[in-house]
C-alpha cells in the first residue's frame, strides 16, 4: 500500500488538487477511470491507479478515453475521465452526442485548463463546453473543494442523468491543501438498461431527446440557484461586489477582504436569481473570471449591469496584485495607475531556456534536420521534440496540435510553390502522439500518394508529461506487461512500401543524416523510425561518460550544435600570441555527471577530442 491508500476515513492529508480528485473518485465508488496524459491533469489517473477497486487505464487519446468511461457508465458503473483542456477538443464528438442521450450511472469528466499557458499551445476556457453541451460545470478553488466537488458531481450526475464537467486549473491541480477524506461508497450497480431509442443516436431518436434536454436545463438552473456549492463571502464595503469562481475567488478574497463576494461553485448553469439578489445589495458588480468573459456576457444578456473584462485582463491568472490594481482604478484611488509593488529585484541568474535532456534520442534527429534546413520544410508536433523549434536547432516550421505534423506536412507538400517548391517536406512526430492522432494522417498520406517523409521518434514513453505508458511501450499503467505495437509492421500495414520504412539508431548520426537526406529526395511517402528509449526511463541503458581533451579541442563548436545540455563552453587561461597580445581560447567541455555516453557528439568532432572519461586527467573547468 502507499501513503494515499493508507489514509483512513475522517483523517486529513496534504493533497494536491489532482490527488484530491483521485481520492474522491475512489470514495464515490467509481469502478472505471480512463484518461490520456496531459499537463496539468496527468497525475489524477496516475494517483487513481494506486487505489484498489478502480480499473484505471490510459486511453490512446481523449476521445477513446471518454468513450470507455461513457460505456462503463451506460453499463451501470460510476465512471471517470480526465484530460487537459485541449483534450476536450479531441473528445468533443463523443461529448456532444452523449450529453443529449445522458447516462445511466454517474460520470464525471475532469478537464484541467492551463490558465497562463504553462505547458500548452493555447489557453482555452472549458466552461464553454458546459454551455455548448448543456452540461453542468462545477469549479473548485482548492484541493479541499476539488475533493468535495467531485463527490457532489457524482450525485448531480445521477440526479440529472447526464455527465458533469469538473473544471480545474493548473493552480488547483498542483497546489496542495489539507483535505479531509472519507470512506469508499458502494453504490448499487444498475446494470445496462436496453433502450435503443435513447442510446442509439439516430436522427429520429435524437430529435425526441431535445425536449428532455430543455427540461434538464431548467432543472439544472434551479439546482444552480439552490446548491450549497455556491456561497456568499460577506464584506462590509458595499461599494463593489465581486462574482468569482475557482482560484480567482480566493485571489479576490485576499485582494479585497472587505468586498462581498458571490463565490460560485457551480458555474453552469449560472445561479441567475442568486446573482440578481446579490447585485441588488451592492453599488457595482465586478465579474472575476479566468479566462473568457462567459459569466459577464451571460449576465449582460440577462439585463444586469456588470463590469468584467473592460477592467480585468482576459489572459493569464487573476492574481492578488492584478485584482488590487483593478479595484484601485475602479475606485479612483491615488494608486490607481501605480504598478503592483515588486517583490524585489530580479535575481541575476543565467538564462535557462527549455531544452532536451542530456543524451536525449531526439537530439540527433534535430541536429540532422538543422543541417538540412535549406532543403526541407519541417512540420512538428506536440511532445518533448517540440523543443526542436528552439536553439540551437531551429528545425521546425509549424506546430499546431497533436497529430497535425503529418497532415499539415501533406498540405505543405501539395501547396508549396515559389522558393519552397523544390524542398522536401518532413513531418516529425513522437510514438505516443502518432498513436494518439497521427495514424490517420499517415493513412491519408499513403492514400493520396503524398511526397512526405515522416520521422517517427519512438522513445517508448509519453515523455512530455512524465514518462507514462502507452500501447507502444509494452507496459500498462500498473507496470504490467502489455502487447506492444510494432511500428515497422504497423506503417507497412498502412501501405507504406517496405523499402521506404527504416528503423534506425538515432545515435548513429552519420547513418541517420544520410538516411534523412536520401528519403527526402524520394518522391513518395517514407517513414524513418528512431528506436532508442527516453533517457529518463529505466529502459535506457547509459554508456560510460565522455570528456573533452582540452589540448586537442579546436573550439570549432561542432559538438555544441548537437544541443546536448551536458556539453558546455569552457575557457582556457589567458595565453599570449606571437604578437605579444593576450588571448583567451575557448573549447568544449562535457559535464560528465550528466553525460549518458550516447556518442552523438563524437560523430561531430573532427579532431577526435572527445574520449571516454578519465577524471584524474581531466579536472572540472570554469564555465563561461
- Whether residue 384 is annotated as binding a ligand: the answer is no
Helix, strand or coil for residue 335?
A: coil
Residue 422 falls in which region: left (phi positive, over 0), alpha (psi -120 to 50) or beta: alpha
- Whether residue 605 is annotated as binding a ligand: the answer is yes
Backbone φ, ψ for residue 402 (5° rounding): -65, 125
- Whether residue 598 is annotated as binding a ligand: the answer is yes
- Whether residue 534 is annotated as binding a ligand: the answer is no
- Whether residue 401 is annotated as binding a ligand: the answer is no
Q: Cα dist. 380→220, 252, 394, 462, 580 in Å?
A: 43, 40, 11, 16, 51
CB count in 10 Å sphere of residue 219? 13
Radius of gyration of the chain from Cα atoms? 28
Q: Cα dist. 285→14, 263, 281, 297 in Å?
A: 35, 13, 10, 13
Buried b (16+ CB within 10 A) or exposed e, 242-278: bbbbbbbbbbbbebbeebbbbbbbbbbbbbeebbeeb
CB count in 10 Å sphere of residue 441? 25
Helical (H) or strand (E) element with 185: none
Cis peptide before 291 (omega within 30 of 0): yes
Q: Where are the beta strands (DSSP E) in 18-122?
A: 32-35, 55-58, 79-84, 107-113
Helical (H) or strand (E) element with 96: helix 85-101
**Paired residues of 137 in beta bridges:** 165, 268
- Whether residue 564 is annotated as binding a ligand: the answer is yes
- Whether residue 357 is annotated as binding a ligand: the answer is no
Integer Cα distance of 442 and 460 in angstroms = 19
Residue 399 corresponds to which cell in the numbers above?
Answer: 506546430
Q: Where are the beta strands (DSSP E) in 359-469?
A: 376-379, 424-430, 453-457
Q: Cα dist. 22→15, 48, 104, 424, 573 in Å?
A: 10, 5, 21, 47, 57
Backbone φ, ψ for residue 612 (5° rounding): -60, 150
Buried b (16+ CB within 10 A) or exposed e, 29-48: bbbbbbbbbbbbbbbbbbbb
CB 509 within 8 Å of CB 364 = yes
- Whether residue 601 is annotated as binding a ligand: the answer is yes
Q: What is the dihedral of CA 231, 235, 239, 242, to 10 degrees?
A: -30
Residue numbers belonging to the annotated binding site: 553, 556, 559, 564, 595, 598, 601, 605
**Positions at the binding site for [4Fe-4S] cluster:** 553, 556, 559, 564, 595, 598, 601, 605
Amino acid at each position: 500500500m502507499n501513503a494515499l491508500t493508507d489514509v483512513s476515513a475522517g483523517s486529513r492529508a496534504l493533497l494536491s488538487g489532482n490527488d484530491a480528485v483521485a481520492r474522491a473518485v475512489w470514495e464515490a465508488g467509481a469502478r472505471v477511470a480512463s484518461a490520456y496524459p496531459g499537463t496539468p491533469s496527468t497525475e489524477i489517473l496516475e494517483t487513481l491507479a494506486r487505489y484498489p477497486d478502480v480499473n484505471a487505464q490510459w486511453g490512446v487519446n481523449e476521445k477513446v478515453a471518454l468513450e470507455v468511461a461513457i460505456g462503463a457508465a451506460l453499463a451501470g458503473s460510476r465512471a471517470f475521465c480526465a484530460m487537459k483542456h485541449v483534450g476536450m477538443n479531441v473528445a468533443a464528438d463523443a461529448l456532444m452526442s452523449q450529453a443529449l442521450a445522458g447516462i445511466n450511472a454517474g460520470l464525471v469528466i475532469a478537464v484541467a485548463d492551463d490558465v497562463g499557458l504553462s505547458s500548452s499551445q493555447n489557453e482555452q476556457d472549458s466552461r464553454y463546453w458546459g454551455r455548448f453541451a448543456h452540461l453542468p460545470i462545477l469549479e473548485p478553488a482548492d484541493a479541499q473543494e476539488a475533493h468535495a466537488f467531485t463527490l457532489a458531481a457524482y450525485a448531480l450526475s445521477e440526479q440529472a442523468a447526464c455527465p458533469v464537467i469538473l473544471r480545474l486549473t493548473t493552480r488547483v491541480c498542483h497546489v496542495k491543501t489539507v483535505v479531509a477524506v472519507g470512506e469508499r461508497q458502494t453504490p448499487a450497480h444498475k446494470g445496462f438498461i436496453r433502450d435503443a431509442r435513447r442510446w442509439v443516436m439516430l436522427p429520429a431518436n435524437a430529435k425526441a431527446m431535445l425536449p428532455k434536454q430543455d427540461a434538464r436545463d431548467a432543472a439544472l438552473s434551479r439546482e444552480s440557484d439552490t446548491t450549497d456549492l455556491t456561497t456568499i463571502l460577506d464584506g462590509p464595503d458595499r461599494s463593489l461586489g465581486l462574482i468569482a469562481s475557482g482560484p480567482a475567488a480566493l485571489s479576490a478574497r485576499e485582494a479585497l477582504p472587505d468586498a462581498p463576494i458571490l463565490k460560485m461553485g457551480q458555474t453552469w448553469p449560472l445561479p441567475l436569481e442568486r446573482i440578481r439578489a446579490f447585485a441588488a445589495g451592492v453599488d457595482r458588480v465586478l465579474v472575476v473570471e479566468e479566462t473568457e468573459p462567459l459569466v459577464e456576457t451571460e449576465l449582460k444578456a440577462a439585463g444586469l449591469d456588470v463590469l468584467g473584462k473592460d477592467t480585468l485582463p482576459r489572459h493569464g491568472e487573476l492574481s492578488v496584485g492584478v485584482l488590487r490594481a483593478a479595484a484601485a482604478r475602479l475606485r479612483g484611488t491615488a494608486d490607481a495607475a501605480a504598478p503592483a509593488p515588486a517583490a524585489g529585484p530580479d535575481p541575476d541568474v543565467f538564462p535557462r531556456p527549455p531544452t532536451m535532456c542530456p543524451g536525449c534520442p531526439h537530439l540527433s534527429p534535430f541536429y540532422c534536420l538543422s543541417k538540412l534546413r535549406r532543403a526541407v520544410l519541417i512540420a512538428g508536433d506536440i511532445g518533448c521534440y517540440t523543443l526542436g523549434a528552439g536553439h540551437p536547432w531551429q528545425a521546425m516550421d509549424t506546430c499546431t496540435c497533436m497529430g497535425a505534423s503529418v497532415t499539415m506536412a501533406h498540405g505543405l507538400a501539395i501547396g508549396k510553390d515559389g522558393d519552397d517548391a523544390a524542398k522536401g517536406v518532413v513531418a516529425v512526430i513522437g510514438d505516443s502522439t502518432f498513436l494518439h492522432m497521427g495514424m490517420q494522417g499517415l493513412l491519408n498520406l499513403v492514400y493520396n500518394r503524398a511526397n512526405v517523409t515522416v520521422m517517427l521518434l519512438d522513445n517508448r514513453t509519453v515523455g512530455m508529461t512524465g514518462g507514462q505508458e502507452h500501447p507502444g511501450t509494452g507496459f500498462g499503467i500498473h507496470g504490467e506487461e502489455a502487447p506492444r505495437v510494432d511500428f515497422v509492421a504497423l506503417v507497412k500495414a498502412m501501405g507504406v512500401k517496405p523499402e521506404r520504412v527504416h528503423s534506425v539508431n538515432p545515435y548513429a548520426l552519420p547513418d541517420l543524416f544520410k538516411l534523412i537526406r536520401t528519403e527526402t529526395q524520394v518522391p513518395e511517402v517514407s517513414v524513418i523510425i528512431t528506436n532508442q528509449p527516453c533517457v529518463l526511463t529505466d529502459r535506457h541503458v547509459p554508456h560510460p561518460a565522455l570528456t573533452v581533451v582540452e589540448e586537442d579541442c579546436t573550439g570549432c563548436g561542432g559538438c555544441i550544435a548537437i544541443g546536448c545540455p551536458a556539453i558546455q563552453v569552457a575557457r582556457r587561461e589567458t595565453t599570449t600570441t606571437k604578437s605579444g597580445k593576450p588571448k583567451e581560447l575557448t573549447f568544449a567541455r562535457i559535464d560528465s555527471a550528466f553525460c549518458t555516453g550516447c556518442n552523438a557528439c563524437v560523430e561531430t568532432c573532427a579532431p577526435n577530442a572527445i574520449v571516454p572519461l578519465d577524471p584524474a586527467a581531466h579536472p572540472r573547468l570554469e564555465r563561461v
